Structure 1
Amino acid sequence: MNPPLAEPPATNGGTPRPTDEELARRRTAVGELGHELRALVDAAVRTTAPDATLRHVADHVRRLTAELTGGGQRVRAEIPAVDEFPGGPRMYSPVTGPGSPLAPPVEVVPEAAGLVGRCVLGIAHEGPPGYAHGGMSAMLLDELMGHACAAAGAPAMTISLRLRYHGPVPVGTPLRIAARVARTEGRKLHVDGSIATEATPDTALVTAEAVFVAPDPARLRALFPHLPATP
């Protein structure tokens, strides 16, 4: 896989690319909707409202869903116009996407040894009461480790991911997710990752080792047929 383009292509998956101003407005609107949807999801999993209230809200949500679907929808594998793939912003990522109702969302920043992501998981991400579902830890680490590959100049895909759970990951608590490329072997990248709380960053609650592979251009095109043509 080639490193991200310095200048975004004129099209993204066949859709004419909006101007910078249009893109900024659209991303802002997507983020605002995502924020409110996350608040709605949190309220829905916390509420003790009576049955009549739940049915009343469900009717409202059905009408809102009809509004969103009435304006057209993208098809499977189509790259949203607000995204830059590979290696750029993913507005609907279930981990980092500000437009996703599922995402925490994780904010990723570079550090000397790799990348660090920060987030707070909510009750919607709960497995055991008060703690995150173990699958959430896997998803957070897989995403951040993939970002580490892209930051190292080789966007890649996971071929193996091994986790060790040292302690439960609490919800409602600031978390620190770390990832770094440990070594490379041709198109393979070996990546290390961990999750800890911000309060005790040196005490890993989950650690991970993964192998990623940067697919060759033909494989990449077969997997993602909506990718813009490269010069």
Structure 2
Amino acid sequence: MNPVPTESLTTPPDPVRPTGEELDRQRAAIAALGHELRALVDATVRTATPPEVLHRMTDEVRRLTGQLTGRRRARAEIPAVDEFPGGVRMYSPVSGPGSPLAPPMRVTPDGDGVVGHCTLGIAHEGPPGYVHGGMSAMLLDELMGWACYAAGTPAMTVSLRMRYRRPVPLETPLRVHAHVTEAEGRKIFVAGSISAAADPSVTLVTADGVFVTPDPDRARALFPNAP
């Protein structure tokens, strides 16, 4: 039997959390890299370049990946540049400016709820020319969680019921909206919708969600690294 590597038995030291100008610089650098990675992903899913170019690019990407050295964040560890819960999430696959997967969606308060703005590209394609239905669900799930926090009740998704009324077009600015409709103890009911930013009166997708605020003991068990 192969021995277990010593490093797997140790807990990584706590990350040094930047503050002030240092935090701003770190977030700006993360966002800049995320922007370029999203451009690379977009070029990758669009290109019809010959195989020899793809192989050369594969070697180059592998070389660049090798330069991302240093401490690696462990599973369930909150990034040092994040504010959890309810704040900046630099690597969120929906709103994180540092994520190559994210649109990224910009979230702001809006009356009785929150609104998100984003544009989904070819990397998020389902039917040709339109957004993958799972992406619509991911946008709404995240924003509905933001709506819970904005209402003063951070919560986790229990169920999400989607209604796809019309196809969501790619490369089109979108408006995503969510608000809490009712609360029963720790259970919170949330409604959400997606429309084109240019014509918000025409709803493309709607969702109804049930969220639950975990009790303190459960929250500590789920998120042991939370402040």
TM-score by length of 2: 0.92
Query: What amino acid sits opposite 1:31 in the alignment?
Result: A
Contact 1:92/1:99, CA 8 A, preserved across alignment: yes
After the TM superposition, which parts of structure 1 deviate over 4 Å for at least 4 consecutive aligned residues? none
Q: Give, in whole Å, the separation in 2 of the partners of 1:14 and 1:142.
A: 30
Tell me, what secondary structure is at the counterpart of 2:203? coil
Which residue in 1 is equivalent to 2:118? Answer: 119
Tell me, what secondary structure is at the counterpart of 2:194? strand
Unpaired runs of 5+ residues, structure 2, are 1-12
Contact 1:79/1:226, CA 8 A, preserved across alignment: yes
Which residue in 2 is equivalent to 1:77? Answer: 76
CA-to-aligned-CA distance 1:25-66 (integer Å, 9 cap, x gap): 100000000000000000000011111111111110001111
How many residue pairs get aligned? The number is: 215
1:59 aligns to 2:59 (yes or no):
yes
Query: What amino acid sits opposite 1:125 in the alignment?
Result: H
1:188 aligns to 2:187 (yes or no):
yes
1:25 aligns to 2:28 (yes or no):
no
Query: What amino acid sits opposite 2:20 in the alignment?
Result: D
How many angstroms does 1:77 deviate by? Answer: 0.4
Tell me, what secondary structure is at the counterpart of 1:104? coil
How many angstroms does 1:17 deviate by? Answer: 2.5
Unpaired runs of 5+ residues, structure 1, are 1-12
Query: What amino acid sits opposite 1:181 in the alignment?
Result: V
Which residue in 2 is equivalent to 1:6? Answer: none
Q: Give, in whole Å, the separation in 2 of the partners of 1:94 and 1:79.
A: 15
Q: Which structure ranks higher in relative contact order (CA pairs < 8 Å, sequence separation ≥ 6)? A: 1
Query: What amino acid sits opposite 1:192 in the alignment?
Result: A
Query: What amino acid sits opposite 2:58 in the alignment?
Result: A
Query: What amino acid sits opposite 1:44 in the alignment?
Result: T
Q: Which moved more, 1:108-117 or 1:129-138?
A: 108-117
How many angstroms does 1:14 deviate by? Answer: 4.2
Which residue in 2 is equivalent to 1:40? Answer: 40
The 5-angstrom pairing of residues 217-228 of structure 1 reads 217-228=216-227
How many angstroms does 1:111 deviate by? Answer: 1.1
The 5-angstrom pairing of residues 83-162 of structure 1 reads 83-162=82-161
CA-to-aligned-CA distance 1:123-176 (integer Å, 9 cap, x gap): 000000000100000000000000001111111100010000001111000101
Query: What amino acid sits opposite 2:222 in the alignment?
Result: L
CA-to-aligned-CA distance 1:92-141 (integer Å, 9 cap, x gap): 00000000000000011111131110100000000000001000000000
Query: What amino acid sits opposite 1:146 in the alignment?
Result: G
Q: Give, in whole Å, the separation in 2 of the partners of 1:187 and 1:224.
A: 18
Tell me, what secondary structure is at the counterpart of 1:21? helix
Query: What amino acid sits opposite 2:53 in the alignment?
Result: T
TM-score by length of 1: 0.91
Query: What amino acid sits opposite 2:29 in the alignment?
Result: A
Query: What amino acid sits opposite 2:44 in the alignment?
Result: A
Contact 1:27/1:82, CA 8 A, preserved across alignment: yes
> Percent identity over the alignment?
67
How many angstroms does 1:72 deviate by? Answer: 2.3
Let me know the Cα RMSD of the aligned residues.
Answer: 1.1
